[in-house]
Amino acid sequence: MDIEPSRLRRGEAVAGLGGVVLLFSLFVTTWYGTTGPISPTAALLGASTSYNGWHALTDLRWLILITGALAIALAYFQATRRAPAIPVSLSVVVTVLALITVLFLIYRVLINVPGPDSVIDRKAGAYLGLISSVAILYGGYASLRQEGILPSDGPLDIPTVSPHGEAGPAAQGIPAAGPRGGTSS
């Protein structure tokens, strides 16, 4: 399968980029860290004082991982497929999963930090993860709104078959009737 970036529409591009950023933030950036007087003590004792999304969100990490991976898959399949069946199906799944992910991350990042509030503080990675999941939600929804195939990927002439088993006019080289009864070219 050849990747043709020209097939990507805005929705798939935003979802794919959001998926990359979400997975990057899940594994690489710090989501939560200890604060207050416990932080220096924990560091002296060798305990971890910062946590990425993968280690901090043990219940949500698989949902976040699947959402990010499917957002990337949506962009990949849109760029490699002429037919819209797989990208359209993926855009539905990505939109639903991104909505669920956004709701859970709003709760975990903005409302209820995992752990005691006086000890654990949010870091930039948590906000980056939330913003990228919102971008995936937008991209999946925008992809749903733009279903279809590009004119360059569509068939130029669709062969028809008559009820008696004979090839229709398009298969015999005769121009097919246009929308107003005339011939199309």
Confidence of residue 4 (pLDDT cuts 50, 70, 90): confident
Among the ranges 2-16, 86-100, 125-139, which has the highest mean pLDDT value? 125-139
The pLDDT mean for the chain works out to 80
Confidence of residue 33 (pLDDT cuts 50, 70, 90): confident
User: What pLDDT shows up at residue 185?
Assistant: 47
Distance of CA 77 to the CA centre of its chain: 11
Closest CA to 91 of 148, 139, 130, 133: 139
Mean pLDDT of 139-151: 77
Give the angle 28-29-34 at the CA atoms, nearest 5°.
125
Mean pLDDT of 144-151: 68
Does 177 have pLDDT greater than 80?
Answer: no
pTM over 0.75: no
Q: What is the pLDDT of residues 162-173, one digit of tens each?
A: 777 665 555 555
Does 58 have pLDDT greater than 80?
Answer: yes
User: What pLDDT shows up at residue 81?
Assistant: 77
Q: Is the distance from CB of 47 to CB of 38 less than 8 angstroms?
A: no
More confident of the two residues 121 and 92: 92
Q: What is the pLDDT of residues 74-115, one digit of tens each?
A: 999 888 877 666 778 899 999 999 999 999 999 999 998 777
User: What pLDDT shows up at residue 140?
Assistant: 93
